[in-house]
Structure formats: C-alpha cells, structure tokens
Amino acid sequence: MKKIGKLILWTLQLAGMALAAGLLCAYLARFVSPAATWFFAFFGLLFMPLLVLNTAMMLCFLAAKRKIAWLHLAVILPALVFLPAYIQLRSAADADSPLLPGELKILSYNVHLFHLDTKTKTVETLSDIAAFVGREAPAVVCLQEVALYDTNSVKRAFGDYPYAHFQSRKMFGDALFSTVTLSRYPITHKGVIIFPQSGNVCIFTDITIDGQTVRVYNNHLESTRLDLALSFARLKQEEKRGEEIKTVSIRLRDAFIKRARQVDMVAGHIAQSPYPALVCGDFNDLPMSYTYRRMKGDRHDSFIDAGSGIPTTFHSGIPAFRIDYIFCDPAFKTTRFYIPDVPYSDHYPSIAVVRRLER
C-alpha cells in the first residue's frame, strides 16, 4: 500500500509541475507575439482553468504537508495582476441611471450580420438591434459584422445618428460585410486600416464633442472561424477526435498569428493619433493574450475601471469569455460599464459611460 501511495503522490507531483509550467506559459502569452512564437498563445486561452487547477493542487499539497505546495503558490501569485480583467467584485452598475453633465455613452457590438439567414430575418434583427440601441441612446455606436443590403437601410434604422462611417471589406451573398461607426456628434475625419490577406478591418473616426476631438477606433480582428458547439460534438466522437484537434489547432494558430500582426498595425497607428483615443471592438481574443496587452497599451480597460462580475461577451457557454472591449485614453475616466443580456447576436454588446478629465 505504501508503494501505491508513493506512486500516486509522485504522479500528482508530476502533474502539478506540468500544471505550474502551463500557467507560466499562459503568463507569457501576454508578452510574446504569436507572429514570432505562437506556442504560448494556446496556454493564454487556458489561463482560468490552469489557475483553478494550480490552486486546487496547492491546497491538496498543503493538506499533505508537501513542499511542492510552495511552487504552486509562487506561480499563482502573478495571477493577481491579471485577474482584474476577468473578475470584478464591485456591485453592478445601474444601467438606467441618467447621464451626468460631461458624460458620454459608448456602445460596441458585433451584430453577427443581423442573422443573415434570409433577408426577412436580417431586416427583423436589424430592427430589433436598432430599437435596443435607441433605448440605450449612446452618443457613439461601434458595430462589427454589419450586413448591408444597402447602406440606406442601416441609416434609416439608426435615424437618430446623423453622422456615420461605413467601411465594407467583402461580400456575403448579396450583402456587404461591414464595420460601422455611428455618432450623434459631427464626424470631421474618417480613415481605415486595411489588414493584408484578411476580410477584417479597423476604422478610425474623428468626432468633435463640445469643441474637443476624440478619435474612435472600431476594430474587428481576425476570427478563428470555429463553431464551438460543432467542435465539442466532434471531440466526443472517437473517430473524428484526431482530425478535429488538428483542424482546431491549425485555425487557432493561424488566427493568433494574423491578430498579432493586425494589432501591431493598429497599436502603431494609435500611437500617432493627434487626439485622445477610444478603442472599441471585437478583438477575438481573451485578456490573457498579446492582442489584449498590445491594444490596451497605456489605456484603461472600461470593465476593470467600472465593471462588475465575470464578464462574457460571446455566446460560447464558457464563463469569462470576453473578446469584445472598450479601452479609454487616460484623458477619460470610465464611470459605468455593463454588458446587456440581449439575444440579437452571438455576441453581447459592451457599454461604457466615460467622462473627459479636466486638464
């Protein structure tokens, strides 16, 4: 029995060391560009499960009075720096509170082509989303994956927004695949950052608000193009498991590399902006990623500053699956942040209320 006990303990210690190494690799995912080395990016996706498993291992080894518990404590401690992007324990913001003088509401939403199943369904979803946006009444709206049969249909639906920036990149059937920024305030300049070998895009829009100009970046970075439900179903089938693992790995790798190059382009452009930048959009990456760190730069994550709970912006069935963001220049302070639970897309919208700081 003693030999069996020692074998079990040795196996647990070996597994514990592997989990500790995995968590260290997850940390590196924030700092190593996948365009240089994509290996670490896979571990960034597993940050939360690795953190939970390392914590469980630490508790088990502490109970067994094994020194290896200190190894797990050492690798867990850095997570305290990164956890605020995954969970905030403050009370939830009151979404219905009126705006105070000087506050500005921003909404970012991947609308999933308005459910481009049929033209009728698309029109219905466009109407639903427009009504939802009307109730929220943000000053600036950043939309990704907009299906356009014609530009005027969207302009009519969002009639409260007299200023608009449309940028289309590719076709889906009879509709254009577009990124759109809408504003209640005058747009003084429009621009686009074209990503090579991609249908995705970043647009930037200069908006003058009460005599001051802000540049809004609306991003839609490279998608992995995975159907999570279908992938999970195939992984359960032994005869399809190997092929599915290979397919998923290749798609993840290629998307990691493309996003790294795209975010470098956008971050370089933001660094040259003559105006304070608000950076929004669907980044298709979790907070423990090079994409997140590079795009955020010295800006503030609105969720960290004013959000609550465990945020999820994509209908994946996985908690803490946040891939949509609103980052604010230090010239702004986020006073409220929330993610409405609405059913119109495979994403949830992100909403931030910000206030420009006096200088």
- Predicted pLDDT of residue 227: 62
- Predicted pLDDT of residue 359: 59
Contact (Cβ atoms closer than 8 angstroms) between residue 346 and residue 112: yes
- Judging by beta carbons within 10 Å of its beta carbon (0-12, 13-18, 19+), is residue 214 exposed, middle or buried? buried
Write down all domains in the chain, each with its CATH number in brackets. 2-85 (no CATH), 105-356 (3.60.10.10)
Record the tokens describing residue 2, joined without a space.
Answer: 């003693």
**φ and ψ at residue 201, rounded to 5 degrees:** -160, 160
**Residues 182, 137, 303, 188: is their CA dihedral positive or negative?**
positive
Contact (Cβ atoms closer than 8 angstroms) between residue 193 and residue 126: no
- Predicted pLDDT of residue 173: 67
- Predicted pLDDT of residue 260: 98
C-alpha 83 chain-centroid distance: 15
Residue type, 256: F
Going by C-beta distance under 8 Å and a sequence separation of 6 or more, which residues neighbour residue 320?
A: 48, 86, 87, 286, 310, 311, 312
3-state helix vs strand vs coil in the chain, percent to 5: 40, 25, 30
Record the tokens describing residue 178, joined without a space.
Answer: 């577009």
Can you give the pLDDT of all 359 residues of the chain as single tens digits? Answer: 566 667 777 888 899 999 999 999 999 999 999 999 999 999 999 999 999 999 999 999 999 888 899 999 999 999 999 999 999 999 988 888 899 999 999 999 999 988 876 656 667 889 999 999 999 999 999 999 998 877 888 999 999 999 999 998 876 666 778 999 999 999 999 999 999 988 899 999 999 999 999 999 999 999 986 665 555 556 566 666 667 677 778 889 999 999 999 999 999 999 999 999 999 999 999 999 999 999 999 999 999 999 999 999 998 777 789 999 999 999 999 999 999 999 999 999 999 999 998 75
- For the entire predicted model, the pTM comes to 0.93
